[in-house]
Structure 1
Amino acid sequence: MNLRKMQTGQSGIIASVKIGGSLGLRMREMGLVPGTEITVTGRAPLYDPVKLRIHGQTLTLRNSEADYIEVDIKVETDSVEGKD
């Protein structure tokens, strides 16, 4: 799923960052690399920028930057132990 389309509270693992050049380098320097867990923690009133939790810190990205990041969404499962 594209990072821009994630809802507040959703978590996932970055699958790929599809941009090179100086913007790609800046994203990598911010820790946005494949295999990194991220959580969308909020959005501005007009949905731009998106607020993320990554490596225990808060980061905001413009939607135009979030478009380059593909995320594998974590699926929350309700496991019930001890029930038949």
Structure 2
Amino acid sequence: MAELMEALIISKDTTTTFPSFPQRVHLLWGENDRFFNLEFAKDLRVKLGEMTGLDSIENGGHLVHLEKPLVYNKILNKFLASVH
């Protein structure tokens, strides 16, 4: 996780490479996130590779897990069930 956070730091260095994860990664994003917009999430999904999925939550912001807990948990449970 530390490698991912370091790769996300905005810099002028265009040679930054994103870590490769052997496991599936799923991003849950609020469509109205004012800190990291949905386009950022889509770009991040592409940079993290084929093993990465993305779901956006309508009317959710940066703290989507607190703002829309039922929707968030439903999507999270669906992803976790698909892992096994």
Give the TM-score, by structure 2 length.
0.24
Give the TM-score, by structure 1 length.
0.24
Tell me: higher relative CO, structure 1 or 2? Use CA pairs within 8 A at least 6 residues apart: 1
Larger of the two Rg values belongs to structure: 1
Decide which structure has greater helix share.
2
